[in-house]
Amino acid sequence: MKTLTFIGANGFIGKSFIDYFNKGLFNKYKIKKINLISRNITELKKIKYSKNLNFIKADISKLKNLPKSDYIIYGAENAEIKKKHRYDKIINESKESIDNFCNIVKDQKKVKILYLSSGIIKKHKNRISKAKSPTEAYIKIKKYSELKIRDLSKFRLKTSIARCYTFIGRWLPRRSKYAIGNFIENVIRKKPIIVKKNNRVIRSYMYADDMVSWIMNICFNSQIKTMTCDVGSNYQIEIGQLAILFSNLFNQKIIFTKKKIDSKKEDKYLPKFNKIHTKLKLRTTYNLKKSILLTIKDIKKN
């Protein structure tokens, strides 16, 4: 029997792991138990869950030891940094957490560790001395944590980094900065789909089950020399076309708030695929249309 520990399980990815486990899909990895560590487990416990899910209320920056595990996923960082937040405080808290994790995990010599990073690192390659925006604060956190994970090779620990892009699934925030989440919310509430951008915005969306499968495959293949892999769909779509797809699927009205689109301005955020993807034989199971329909169905069902 294999055990997985997920640190920072209260977000979209953590909840998607619970769904994946409840469907019995972790059986192929021989994982029979998951430890879910979070400072706030109240929301997690509202999800229907198996008896083999172990909820641990804890702050990773203060933990003295970790449950013995075969695999560890680290995702304990705040992705929803706001303009009102003190960036230096959030950055320092994140550093304390990853520092402590790297210190206490050294005793588990046979564990495989995966760090949940972000593709935004590659989009913003310049060094940031002082964070002046939520995005810059987030980048500083991710870059620091990636370095800390790579440093674990000194202790002969097998590690990997999953640079995550954009996803779709029932736990995606539906009233935030994510356009597809807002589209889903408007469909459920039977309100018009609103497109606010005045430039070309291009994204790709991977369904939650594919996301979990890829993350686990990458973690399973962790090496002493840290392996880094993008996680996301290779099917790209412009936001206006995405709105049209939603409109066609659900017979919803679309409102474009900007009458003219500047085609010269392009915001593209897409994963890149390399020999690691080929070696691991990573493939997507769900196309975008099916992903949207399954997400809406799951939200309404629950």
pLDDT in tens, 1-19: 899 999 999 899 999 999 9
Cα dist from 228 to 2, 5, 159, 247, 285, whole Å: 23, 20, 9, 37, 22
Arithmetic mean of pLDDT over the chain: 91
For residues 103-129, give the mean pLDDT: 88
Q: What whole-number percentage of the chain has pLDDT above 90?
A: 70
Record the tokens describing residue 70, joined without a space. 């075969």
Query: Is pLDDT of 84 > 70?
Result: no
CA distance 216 to 40: 24
Give the per-residue pLDDT at 90: 87
135 CB neighbour count, 10 Å cutoff: 14
Taking the alpha carbons at both ends of the chain, their separation in whole angstroms is 30
How far is residue 179 from each of residues 58, 71, 136, 171, 246, measured CA to CA in Å? Answer: 32, 33, 21, 14, 12
Q: Which residues pair with 36 in a beta bridge?
A: 6, 55
At residue 230, does pLDDT exceed 80? yes
CA distance 76 to 86: 18
Instruction: Give the total residue count for the chain.
Output: 302
Candidates 22, 28, 36, 217; CA nearest to 114 is: 217
Structure tokens at 166: 């954009």
pLDDT at 248: 95
State pTM to two decimals.
0.94
Q: Which residue, among 106, 113, 115, 7, has the nearest Cα to 60 in the 3D structure? A: 7
CA distances for 186 relative to 55, 122, 126, angstroms: 33, 32, 37
Q: Find the mean pLDDT for residues 68-90.
A: 84
Least-confidence region, from 62-71, 129-138, 142-151, 164-173? 129-138
For 69, what's the count of Cα atoms within 13 Å in the CB-facing half-sphere?
28
134 falls in which pLDDT band (50, 70, 90)? confident
pLDDT of residue 113: 98
Single-letter amino acid code for the residue at 184: I
Q: Which of 101-105, 134-138, 198-202, 270-274: highest mean pLDDT?
A: 101-105
Whether 13 and 162 have beta carbons less than 8 Å apart is answered as no
Average pLDDT over residues 212-229: 96
CA 271 to chain centre: 13
CB neighbourhood size of 187 (10 A): 21
Q: Residue 231's closest CA among 267, 270, 262? A: 270
Q: What is the pLDDT of residue 107?
A: 86
Pairing of strands 167-168, 206-207: parallel
Q: 44-58, 169-183, 225-239: which has the highest mean pLDDT?
A: 225-239
Is the pLDDT confidence value at 50 over 80? no
Average pLDDT over every residue of 270-297: 93
Which pLDDT score, from 0 to 100, does residue 85 have?
Answer: 65
pLDDT band at 258 (very low <50, low <70, confident <90, very high): confident
Alpha-helical (H) ranges within the chain are: 12-22, 87-104, 120-123, 134-151, 179-188, 208-220, 239-250, 275-280, 288-301
CA 85 to centroid of chain Cα atoms: 21
